[in-house]
Amino acid sequence: MLTILFDGIAYGMLLFILAVGLSVTMGLMNFINLAHGAFAMAGGYLTVVLMQRFGVPFLICLPLAFLATGFVGAIMERSLYRPMYAKPHLDQVLFSIGLAFMSVSAIDYFMGSQQQIMQLPEMLKGRTELWDGALGMGHYRLFIIAICAALTLALQYVLAKTTFGSRLRASVDDSRVAAGLGINVNSVFAITFAVGSGLAGLGGALGAEVLGLDPTFPLKFMVYFLIVVAVGGTSSITGPLLAALLLGIADVAGKYYVPKLGAFIVYSLMLLILLWRPQGLFVRKGGH
């Protein structure tokens, strides 16, 4: 049972890193970006290509995935996304679905449609058993938890203690007022989008072994990211963190204890939560 909890936490933290960019973008730019999963997929495939064709070690690939997808995200924000902010939500949905479709097709064309196998470095394979096997910790999952926890703490620190963080928080609260206070809202948007996409890319690279990696990744997992954002809310990062953990544990536990129902558990849980609290579970009072 503890093992399930452990696996669920690992899965949840991974989902959080993947989805946090989406949550902040939604809260900041009020933009529904259904192509977010494509950045994650890009990070995963980049890692695979670097490792298999260029022999780059796995641990080096991770920061590279972050930087590369972050960079691509910055370019796309400036060129393609920016004109979309003022458009109605339907347009944003259509636009980002279009991007998602394009990326899925492109990867299918260049890399083929089969599952990609990730070769983990030796030290990350293996498993530690505690308490007579009551808790089995895969080393890779331990690694994931460690990296994601570190990233979460870093994010919290940036948000709470740095100038950029306070500018970001002000822009999320009310971007017009923030602009009026002299905050360069455009650059806040650009940096946030880039970091969010970078984190998604990193998550994709990290998660390829656990979640699987094939061209349908963006569409398959987009639902999960959206669940994290819808349930966790867009006005903090602890909200999506808790939502992601809840989702991760529920999914792993559900698939173990009631395999017949599979993902049904997760979707129903989401539906019930949204019925009870349409604004998400963890919304700060006040503001819009």
Partner 1 sequence: MRSNSHQHLQASLLRPSRLKWTEFLFWGLVFLAPWVVPGHALMVNEMAIVALFALSLDLVLGYAGIVSLGHAAFLGFGAYSAALFAKHIMPDPLVGLCFAMATTSCLGALCALTILRGSDLTRLMVTLGMALILLELANKLDWLTGGSDGLQGVLMGPLLGRFEFDLMGQTAATYSLTILLASFVFVRHWVHSPLGATVKAVRDNRLRAMAIGINVNARLAVVYVAAASLAGAAGALMAQTTGFASLDVFALDRSADVMLMLVIGGVGWLYGGVLGAVAFKLMHDVIAGITPQYWTFWIGLFLVVLVLVGRERLLKPWTWWRS
169-198 positions binding partner 1, by CB under 8 A: none
Q: Please identify which residue in 29, 199, 247, 270 interacts with partner 1, judged by CB under 8 A.
A: 270
- Closest approach, Cβ 84 to partner 1, in A, equals 7
Q: Is 104 in the site for partner 1 (CB under 8 A)?
A: yes
- For tokens 């022999």, what's the residue? 55
Q: Please tell me the distance from the alpha carbon of residue 231 to that of residue 18, in angstroms, as a whole number.
A: 15
Q: Is 112 in the site for partner 1 (CB under 8 A)?
A: no
Rg (CA), the chain: 19
For residue 149, what are the CA distances in angstroms to 83, 156, 216?
A: 35, 11, 28
- 86 scored as a contact of partner 1 (CB under 8 A): no
Residue 267 interacting with partner 1 (CB under 8 A):
yes
Write down the least CB distance from residue 122 to partner 1, Å.
Answer: 38
The count of residues interacting with partner 1 (CB under 8 A) is 46
Site track for partner 1 across 27-66, x = CB under 8 A: -----x----------------------------------
How far, in Å, are 38, 93, 140, 271 from residue 89 at the CA level?
Answer: 19, 6, 39, 21
How near is the Cβ of 73 to partner 1 at its closest, in Å?
A: 16
CA torsion 224→226→227→232, rounded to 10°?
Answer: 130
- Give the C-alpha separation, 253 to 256, whole Å: 5
Q: Is 89 in the site for partner 1 (CB under 8 A)?
A: yes
CB 28 within 8 A of CB 169: no
* Distance in Å, CB of 163 to partner 1, minimum: 29
Closest CA to 127 of 114, 136, 118: 136
Q: Is 271 in the site for partner 1 (CB under 8 A)?
A: yes
Listed residue (25, 116, 15) closest to 73, CA to CA: 25
Pick between residue 53 and residue 260 the one whose CB is nearest to partner 1: 260
Q: How far apart are CA 185 and CA 65, in angstroms?
A: 26
Judged by DSSP in three states, 184 sits in: coil
Residue 83: closest CA among 39, 35, 38, 31: 31
What is the nearest approach in angstroms of partner 1 to the Cβ of residue 90?
Answer: 5
Select the span of 85-93, 159-167, 199-207, 239-247 touching partner 1 (CB under 8 A). 85-93
Q: Given candidates 95, 189, 221, 282, which one binds partner 1 under the rule CB under 8 A? A: 95
93 touches partner 1 by CB under 8 A: yes
3-state secondary structure of 127: strand
Interface residues with partner 1 (CB under 8 A) are 26, 32, 80, 83-84, 87, 89-95, 97-106, 108-109, 219, 223, 226-227, 229-230, 234, 260-264, 267-268, 270-271, 274-275, 278-280
